[in-house]
Each structure stands twice: as structure tokens, then as C-alpha cells.
Amino acid sequence: MTTCLGLESTAHTLSAGVVDDAGSILGVASDTYVPDEGGLHPLKTSIHHVDCFQSVVERALGQAGTALAGIDVVAFSQGPGLGPCLRVGASVARALATFLGVPIVGVNHCVAHVEIGRLACKVDDPLTLYVSGGNTIVSAFDCGRYQVFGETLDIALGNMLDAFAREAGLRHPGGPKVEALARQSVTYVDLPYTVKGMDLALSGLLTSAVNALPGHPIADVAFSLQETSFSMVAEVTERALAHTEKREVLLTGGVAANGRLQEMIRLVSEGHGATFHAVPRALAGDNGAMIAWTGMLQFKQSGGIPVEDTGIIPRWRLDQVPITWRS
Ligand code: ATP
Ligand code: FE2
């Protein structure tokens, strides 16, 4: 049995996961930075990660019932993400791999959201809607890559929900709070719907929703914001599904935890005869297990990478990564 320790540090969460080569998640532990006010400050977030990495790694190893010496491969999220945060994970990974004398693997965070969904939902070749704080991407495997069929032209869906919540005086992360508010209303406030070809834009919608706040109950605006933005991603997903004719749809990333979004994407999927799968809540947000598992897939296919190649890649698109372990 080969075990991989994965480190996630692209944004708010420092997380460690341990998996084996059969795809069992043996341990996963996380510590999420929550700012007192406002959004994520990269430097402050990275200091949080430095302070907690040791206890997070120890907890993940403890759950897995293994000592550091039992780890065969170290994987880390190499990008995309916030530079100072990525640097913490990369430094810890380099130190551990060098100390243990084991291979190191750099993982693309977006690929990891897809791979953990494929593993956890037992799906083989899905059309994927990946929605999180930093990404809004409709993608499917084709010609050796996770090709992007549609994406946001400005801000990400999770970021949009977080920014709206912040303007409404709610603390980060706003997504779950907007969902709870939206459940209290069925009154639709008119908001702009912007789909351009296969892409969508969310910043105008955010501005309109914030501007609607003084005149309307917050639950009505939250409801309308969800209905509008989720319909937009559902439309793009539906068209990509009709085009690619995939038989499975996978919803992944932090916003995949949203019950209303799941309901909408399920309808779209089943309307096209495809099965619908949402990544389990515990694995929907950023976590070390997804990095460990993707690192394991990469390692099994192509081994480790030289330490000289472990520099962070803050802007690293999903479709730039060769998916060598799939045919
Ligand atoms: P990435 O780096 O992949 O873009 P991320 O760093 O934002 O991701 P994730 O943990 O994947 O991290 O996603 C966090 C986002 O998910 C936040 O924007 C948060 O508000 C959102 N989110 C979490 N739960 C819900 C929910 N129930 N409804 C809507 N959004 C949610
Ligand atoms: Fe993420």
C-alpha cells in the first residue's frame, strides 16, 4: 500500500489529508481562517496557515493511524491561489518530502476538486460544474484535458455570494448565510441575468443585489440572487451537457454544498438523461484529501517532480494541466 499526504493552502483553509492508492481517505484535518471583518487578506491568511500547519498535519496523521515515517509521497496544491498562502503549503511540502526522502508532487487545485468528486461519487466521466470562492467552471474531459466549456467572465459564484453577504453585514463565508436567508422567501426581486454565449458574468448582478438591499427584505434579495445566479450556471451547464452528451453530471467546489443549486442542476441533468452527483459536503470545500488523492493519481502515472519544479503557480488554469492518468 502506498500512502500520500496532501497539503491544501490555496486560500482560507490549511488542510492535510492522507489517502492510500485504493482511494481510501484515511485522515483529513483542516483549519480555516475567518477574518474578523471584510474579505480574505492574503498575508494575514498565510500567517494563520504558518501557525496551524503542524497541528493540522498531526491531526490528519493521527486519524490515519500513521506516523510521518509511514508516508510514501507528499503532494501539495501548487496553484491557482493566493501567493503567500500557496507558499506556506509548498514550503511545508518541500521540507517534509526532503526530510522523509520521499517524492513530491505539485497538484492543480481545480483538478483536485474534480478528482475528489469522481472518487467520492464513483463517477467515471462526468460533465463537471465546479463552483467555489475563486472558480465558476463548466468542464469535461476531452483530448487529455479537463476542457473548459463555460466559465465566469468576472467574479466567481462563491465570491459573489460572499461579497453580497459582506455588504449586508454578514461575516465570511457568506454562501451558507445567503442560503439560509433564501429559504425564508419566495418573493422574486428583479435582477439582471447575464449569460454571454457559454460564459456568464456576475459582478453586475452583485451590484444590483446590493443596490436592492435598502428597499427590500434581505431574504427576498438573497432568494432572488440565488435564483438568478444559479439559473445562469444551470443554463451554461445544460448547454455543455447537450453538446458533450456526457451521461453523468458532477457538482463540486464549496458552493456545491448549496441545496437549491443541487436541486436545479439535478433537474437539468435528469432532463438530459444524465445522472446527477454532488460531492459530499465534507469534501466539497477545500481539503487536503483532494490534494492527496490527485497527487496519488499523478504519482502512480508519472512519479514525483524535481524540487526545482515545485515553485507555486498562482494563476494556473484547469485546462492547462495534462490529465495523464486518464485515457
Ligand atoms: P477555490 O480555490 O477552489 O476557488 P475556495 O478557496 O473558495 O475555492 P471552497 O472551500 O472550495 O474554497 O469554496 C468556498 C466557497 O463556498 C465560499 O465562497 C462559500 O461561501 C461557498 N459556500 C460554502 N457553503 C455554501 C452554501 N451552502 N451555499 C453557497 N455557497 C457556499
Ligand atoms: Fe477550492
Q: Are residues 165 and 145 in the same domain?
A: yes
Q: Are residues 71 and 148 in the same domain?
A: no
Cβ–ligand 1 contact at 82 (below 6 Å): no
Q: Is 120 domain-assigned?
A: no
Could you give the residue ranges of the DSSP H alpha helices within 1-102? 42-64, 83-100
Q: Is 325 domain-assigned?
A: no
212-230 pLDDT, tens per residue?
999 999 999 999 999 999 9
Ligand 2 center to residue 187 CA distance, Å? 31
Q: Are residues 26 and 131 in the same domain?
A: no
Q: Are residues 258 and 292 in the same domain?
A: no
Q: Are residues 266 and 298 in the same domain?
A: no
Q: Is 326 domain-assigned?
A: no
15 DSSP β-pair partners: 8, 30
Cβ–ligand 1 contact at 226 (below 6 Å): no
Cβ–ligand 1 contact at 134 (below 6 Å): yes
Ligand 1 center to residue 20 CA distance, Å? 26
Residue 172 has pLDDT above 90, yes or no: no
The whole-number average pLDDT for the span 118-145 is: 97
Q: Are residues 139 and 38 in the same domain?
A: no
pLDDT of residue 39: 76
Q: What is the CATH number of the domain that holds 48?
A: 3.30.420.40
Q: Is 250 domain-assigned?
A: yes
Residue 327 has pLDDT above 90, yes or no: no
Burial of 86 (0-12, 13-18, 19+ CB in 10 A): buried
The string over 217-250, giving b where at least 16 C-beta atoms fall within 10 Å of a residue's C-beta and e elsewhere, is: ebbbbbbbbbbbbbebbbbbbbbbbeebebbbbb
Cβ–ligand 1 contact at 232 (below 6 Å): no
Domain with 192, as residue range(s), is 125-283
Q: Are residues 135 and 276 in the same domain?
A: yes
Q: Ligand 1: which of 8, 132, 170 to mutate, most ligand atoms within 8 Å of CB? A: 132
Q: Is 73 domain-assigned?
A: yes
Q: Is 238 domain-assigned?
A: yes
62-106 pLDDT, tens per residue?
999 999 999 999 999 999 999 999 999 999 999 999 999 999 999
Q: Are residues 109 and 132 in the same domain?
A: no
Q: Is 278 domain-assigned?
A: yes
The tally of domains found in the chain comes to: 2
pLDDT of residue 38: 72
Q: Are residues 23 and 58 in the same domain?
A: yes
Cβ–ligand 1 contact at 285 (below 6 Å): yes
Cβ–ligand 1 contact at 135 (below 6 Å): yes
Q: Is 41 domain-assigned?
A: yes
Give the closest ligand to the alpha carbon of residue 131: 1
Cβ–ligand 1 contact at 162 (below 6 Å): yes
Beta carbons of 283 and 254 less than 8 angstroms apart: no
Cβ–ligand 1 contact at 150 (below 6 Å): no
Q: Whose CA is nearest to atom 16 of ligand 1?
A: 254
Ligand 2 center to residue 131 CA distance, Å? 8
Residue 36 has pLDDT above 90, yes or no: no
Q: Are residues 292 and 250 in the same domain?
A: no
Among residues of the chain, what percentage have pLDDT more than 90? 97
Q: Are residues 141 and 83 in the same domain?
A: no
Query: What contacts 252, CB < 8 A, 6 or more positions away?
Result: 113, 114, 116, 117, 128, 129, 130, 131, 278, 279, 284
Q: What CA–CA distance (Å, rounded) separates 77 from 270?
A: 34
Question: What's the length of the chain?
Answer: 327
Q: Are residues 146 and 59 in the same domain?
A: no
278-326 pLDDT, tens per residue?
999 999 999 999 999 999 999 999 999 999 999 999 999 999 999 999 9
Beta carbons of 219 and 99 less than 8 angstroms apart: no
